[in-house]
Amino acid sequence: MVLLLGPSGSGKSTLALALNGLIPHGLAVEMDGRVVVRGRDTREMQPGEIAALVGTVFQDPEAQFCTLTVEDEIAFGLENLRTPPAEMGAHIDEALAVVGLNGFRGRRLDRLSGGEKQRLALACILAMRPPIIVLDEPTANLDPLGTREFFAALAPLRGRHILILIEHKLDECAHLADRALVLGPNGSLIADGAPRAVFADHAAALDEFGVWIPQVTEFALSLGLRDHLPLTVAEAAQRFNSPHGLSTKAQGHEDTKKNNPGDLVPSCLGVDRAGIESRSALGISHLSFSYPASPPALRDVSLRIPAGTFAALVGPNGSGKSTLAALAMSLQPPPRGTAHLFERDVRDLSFAEIAGCAGYVFQNPEHQFVADTVADELAYSLRVRRRSPDEITRIVENLLDRFDLAELAAANPFTLSQGQKRRLSVATMLAVGQRLLILDEPTFGQDRRGAARLMALLRDLHRDGATILFITHDMRLVSEHAGTATALAEGRAIFSGPPADLFTRPDILAAARLTLPPMVELAQPRSSVVSPPN
Amino acid sequence: MSLFEFYETASPLHRLNPMAKFLGVVIVMAGATLYFDPFVPATLAAGLILTLWILGRVPLNRLTRWMIPVVGLGLPLAIFNALYYDVSRIAHPTVIGRFGLWLITAEGAWAGAGLGVRVACFIAASMFFVVTTDPTDFALSLIQQAHLPYRFGYGVLVSYRFLPLLRAEFDTIRAAHRVRGVGERAGLRGRLEQLRRYAIPLLAGAIRHSERTALAMDSKAFGAGPGRTYRRNLRVRASDWAFVIGALVFTITVVAMLGRLGLADLQLIPAS
């Protein structure tokens, strides 16, 4: 198994497309040089021949299927390879067994979870029996347990297939790899070797370019270790040779001191700053909600987020996290008396009032862009509110500066990089002085540098007194940033409290399909460590 | 709003080859097309709906819900045509009454009813097909029976998958814009402006999504060779022929009987 690493925009996915022959056969792009698969130049092969040798699992579980049921989807590739229909059944059953989806043959694709879909995507490729499988961020959309299950299905395939894996979540998979390749920001190869050696010898470059590495490895490097770097929690525990791991504690950094007031607008809903800070920013009481003709999305959820909290909302896909956020923002009107923003029932607030005191950053930043330039994007909600031109200029310049977007003021939002788009979408949500910011997977698809930068910005906002609620699958973010965490499972809030307490509750973690962040696992007594698949 | 959707069950209608079902439905629709009175299309539509209920095993409550678009599109059309009927063509229009500025004539009401019921019949016919046809079977029969290129058949299937996703995406963008403080605006100019705002992220997302799907399909050797095999081969059976012949017999019987009663108004070349 080969790991392919690099910051966003370094060309990992492009390389993946060149390996499976879609470049140059499927996409009209120019390609110099050669890609040789099993001794043959891909330019001289037929697309069908390459597909029989190199299979690809893509990132987006929704976009890589073209039929409606599990068996049709697996059969699709076999049909393309002109497999006789009589042989297909055996191929399908075998592939499903390998990925742990026995009994799923007749299921409809729209009834599968994200994790099941990705394992199906792997089964589709396995059924075609290619010697080489390329996986382009296959776990990006999965919850923590789904990620672990995916790698558990992948691990035994080593030796039978050459696996080329592009992945950000290295905690679960770095130890499975024999070799790591690192692409630099300009698309050139900067490192090639065994993962352990690459992480040790190129630590500075990986850090500078924002390449994700396993958390325990990062920790060992920060302690100045270079030899025998640990890649997994078990290795780290052994390396540090202590019966109870290290004495690092899972710490939520709850900054309660607010001695650095920002100059963003100091009031909302007609309440001054001091008044706001003594209130609860978000209050949910006995909220139940169902979409038409669907099972309940939320069941009797109660939750209080005091102003000035840095809070995380976790749980599997479909557990009601986004629904809860949408109801809090009144994007779906909640039943009267169940959702309060700064202690006012959202049903009593106009949409302008809600949008004035609470911002909601959607998962895909592009969804929220409404203007043609970055500066207009930031000015938009101020113009809607008829603020004076002087004030607009002042606030826009402040935001451009603070979010490091000044040079891009005249650029079209759609042309920005992933990290820039994300920063812009957060900045737009602060323009009118919102005091509560809800973010849906803010670090999704970001490289290490982009994610770190964004979280630093959120920390600054929090220090200035803003309340932050972020939805995430990344347990590391929860342990490093959140003061409180709420876990949802099947529409119920099954936990609310400090992350350190959440991490001591295996029952809650299992029900919400969460895993422990590696550093927390390392800090726990050895006996409770569950090793990832070997 | 999605008008009708496939209702999954085992029934004689569900088991038919989609192309045979399509042919049968087209025959009934042809009958409705040629007659300008309300009676022929009304009887044909009633026949379709009754067959859908009995042979298609679609529960009555679903069927009732799906009647809303059938009536909902036919009725306004009938009323408008009745109100705006061009009376100047007729020497002595039979005036039934007045409704504000509008003159209501027997001729107008007749023509309006004919058109409204015909449109309702077409919608009932498409409901008949959509509700009982598995989209995968439809795509397969397009390829295997209608001999369309398989790329086209799979295109139909992919777009079937794509539509609900596009709709969810639209809802998300709408919500995302509301959070930005973009009000839903009234008036034609406001609506157009709003449509432009939604269109850009929606199109950007749709193009990206379809590109990803196309790449995923290509990487599984789709379209690589001149042909491909099929796990399932749909056949044309005796029951399929029986359905087509049944549709033909039913249509001719309806037309002949109503013709005898003087209720059918055949117009091979429409008068207006």
- B227 contact residues in A (CB cutoff 8 A): 82
Residues A233 and A378 in one domain: no
- The predicted structure's pLDDT at residue A273: 56
Q: How far is CA A157 from its chain centroid? A: 25
- Taking the CA of residue A81 and the nearest CA in chain B, the distance in Å comes to 7
Residue A122 clears pLDDT 80, i.e. is over it = yes
Residue B196 clears pLDDT 50, i.e. is over it = yes
Residues A157 and A219 in one domain: yes
Between helix A389-402 and helix A418-428 the angle, nearest 10°, is 140
Residues B127 and B252 in one domain: yes
Residues B152 and B132 in one domain: no
- A356 contact residues in B (CB cutoff 8 A): 181
Task: Count CB atoms within 10 A of the CB of residue A526.
Answer: 14
- B198 contact residues in A (CB cutoff 8 A): none
φ, ψ at A343 (rounded to 5°): 65, 20
Half-sphere exposure of B246 (CA within 13 A, CB side): 15
Q: Which ipTM score applies to this complex? A: 0.87
- Taking the CA of residue B16 and the nearest CA in chain A, the distance in Å comes to 19
Asked if residue B135 belongs to a domain, the reply is yes
Residue A400 clears pLDDT 90, i.e. is over it = yes
Asked if residue B43 belongs to a domain, the reply is yes
Q: Is A291 exposed, middle or buried (0-12, 13-18, 19+ CB in 10 A)?
A: exposed
- Taking the CA of residue A252 and the nearest CA in chain B, the distance in Å comes to 29
Tell me which of A240, A255, A271 is where a domain ends.
Answer: A240
pLDDT (average), residues A187-203: 95
Asked if residue B231 belongs to a domain, the reply is no
Residues A290 and A236 in one domain: no
Asked if residue A35 belongs to a domain, the reply is no
Residues B30 and B128 in one domain: yes
Strands A2-5, A179-183: parallel, antiparallel or unpaired by DSSP?
parallel
Asked if residue A176 belongs to a domain, the reply is yes
- Cross-chain residue pair A75–B157, CB shorter than 8 Å: no
Q: Is B88 exposed, middle or buried (0-12, 13-18, 19+ CB in 10 A)?
A: exposed
- Cross-chain residue pair A66–B216, CB shorter than 8 Å: yes
pLDDT digits (tens, 9 = 90+) for A318-349: 899 999 999 999 999 999 999 999 999 999 99
Asked if residue A254 belongs to a domain, the reply is no
Interface of A with B in 416-435 (CB under 8 A): 428-429, 432
Contact criterion met (CB below 8 Å) for A127 and A78: yes
Task: Count CB atoms within 10 A of the CB of residue A162.
Answer: 17
CB proximity B161 to A under 8 Å: yes
Tell me which of A214, A240, A266 is where a domain ends.
Answer: A240
CB proximity A236 to B under 8 Å: no
- B217 contact residues in A (CB cutoff 8 A): 66, 76
Domain range enclosing B33: 12-140+236-260
Q: What span, in angstroms and rounded, lies between the C-alpha atoms of B105 and B94?
A: 5
Residues A159 and A87 in one domain: yes
Residues B98 and B210 in one domain: no
Residues B250 and B134 in one domain: yes
Contact criterion met (CB below 8 Å) for A56 and B219: yes
pLDDT (average), residues A145-168: 95
Asked if residue B271 belongs to a domain, the reply is no
At A149 the three-state DSSP class reads helix
- The predicted structure's pLDDT at residue A244: 45
Smallest Cβ distance to B181: which of A109, A355, A367?
Answer: A355
Residues A323 and A437 in one domain: yes
| Average model confidence (pLDDT) across chain A | 89
- The predicted structure's pLDDT at residue A147: 94
Residue B1 clears pLDDT 50, i.e. is over it = no
**What CATH code is carried by the domain that includes residue A184?**
3.40.50.300
- Assign B186 a pLDDT band (cuts: 50, 70, 90): low
Residues B179 and B73 in one domain: no
- A324 contact residues in B (CB cutoff 8 A): none
Asked if residue A323 belongs to a domain, the reply is yes
Could you tell me which residue, A245 or B80, shows the higher pLDDT? B80
Asked if residue B24 belongs to a domain, the reply is yes
- The predicted structure's pLDDT at residue A276: 57
- Cross-chain residue pair A77–B200, CB shorter than 8 Å: no
Residues B134 and B152 in one domain: no
Q: Which residues of B192-203 are buried (b: 16+ CB within 10 A; e: fewer)?
A: eebeebbebbbe
- Taking the CA of residue A189 and the nearest CA in chain B, the distance in Å comes to 25
- The predicted structure's pLDDT at residue A254: 41
Please report, for residues A19, A77, A160, A363, A406, the alpha-carbon distance to residue A128 in angstroms, rounded to integers and kept in the order given. Answer: 17, 6, 13, 34, 50
Asked if residue B36 belongs to a domain, the reply is yes
- The predicted structure's pLDDT at residue A264: 42
- Cross-chain residue pair A22–B218, CB shorter than 8 Å: yes
Asked if residue A395 belongs to a domain, the reply is yes
Contact criterion met (CB below 8 Å) for A499 and A296: no
- Cross-chain residue pair A367–B172, CB shorter than 8 Å: yes
CB proximity A326 to B under 8 Å: yes
- Cross-chain residue pair A80–B182, CB shorter than 8 Å: no
Residues A430 and A512 in one domain: yes
Residues A453 and A334 in one domain: yes
- Looking at the structure of chain B, the number of domains it has is 2
Task: Locate the chain B residue with the closest alpha carbon to A124.
Answer: B220
CB proximity B215 to A under 8 Å: yes
Residues A235 and A298 in one domain: no
- A72 contact residues in B (CB cutoff 8 A): 136, 231
Interface of A with B in 21-60 (CB under 8 A): 22, 25-27, 46-49, 51-52, 54-56, 58, 60
Asked if residue B7 belongs to a domain, the reply is no
Residues B126 and B42 in one domain: yes
- B180 contact residues in A (CB cutoff 8 A): 355, 368, 370, 380-381, 428
pLDDT digits (tens, 9 = 90+) for A129-140: 999 999 999 999
Contact criterion met (CB below 8 Å) for A473 and A103: no
Shortest CA distance to A188 belongs to which of A205, A201, A204?
Answer: A205
Interface test with B, best of A368, A382, A428 (most B CBs within 10 A): A368
Could you tell me which residue, A113 or A242, shows the higher pLDDT? A113
Q: What is the DSSP letter of B37?
A: S
Residues B67 and B187 in one domain: no
Percent of chain B with pLDDT over 70: 96
Residues B16 and B135 in one domain: yes
CB proximity B157 to A under 8 Å: yes
- B197 contact residues in A (CB cutoff 8 A): 370
- Cross-chain residue pair B181–A432, CB shorter than 8 Å: yes
Residues A388 and A313 in one domain: yes
Interface of A with B in 261-280 (CB under 8 A): none
Q: Which residues of A62-76 are buried (b: 16+ CB within 10 A; e: fewer)?
A: bbbbbbbbbbbbbbb
Asked if residue B252 belongs to a domain, the reply is yes
- Taking the CA of residue B100 and the nearest CA in chain A, the distance in Å comes to 40
Q: Is A99 exposed, middle or buried (0-12, 13-18, 19+ CB in 10 A)?
A: buried
CB proximity B194 to A under 8 Å: no
Q: Which residues of A108-128 are buried (b: 16+ CB within 10 A; e: fewer)?
A: ebeebbbbbbbbbbbbbbbbb
- Cross-chain residue pair B179–A46, CB shorter than 8 Å: no
Smallest Cβ distance to A66: which of B158, B182, B209?
Answer: B158
DSSP string, A390-459: HHHHHHHHHHHHHTT-GGGTTS-GGGS-HHHHHHHHHHHTTTT--SEEEEESTTTT--HHHHHHHHHHHH
- Looking at the structure of chain A, the number of domains it has is 2
pLDDT digits (tens, 9 = 90+) for A452-508: 999 999 999 999 999 999 999 999 999 999 999 999 999 999 999 999 999 999 999
Interface test with B, best of A80, A135, A380 (most B CBs within 10 A): A80
Strands B95-99, B102-105: parallel, antiparallel or unpaired by DSSP?
antiparallel
Smallest Cβ distance to A82: which of B161, B213, B225?
Answer: B225
Domain range enclosing A330: 286-525
Could you tell me which residue, A243 or B142, shows the higher pLDDT? B142
Residues B251 and B204 in one domain: no
- Taking the CA of residue A172 and the nearest CA in chain B, the distance in Å comes to 25
- Cross-chain residue pair A84–B177, CB shorter than 8 Å: no
CB proximity A352 to B under 8 Å: yes
Residues B29 and B50 in one domain: yes
Dihedral angle over CA of A407, A451, A449, A531, nearest 10: -170
pLDDT (average), residues B180-199: 78
Strands A492-497, A344-345: parallel, antiparallel or unpaired by DSSP?
unpaired
Residues A311 and A455 in one domain: yes
- Assign A163 a pLDDT band (cuts: 50, 70, 90): very high
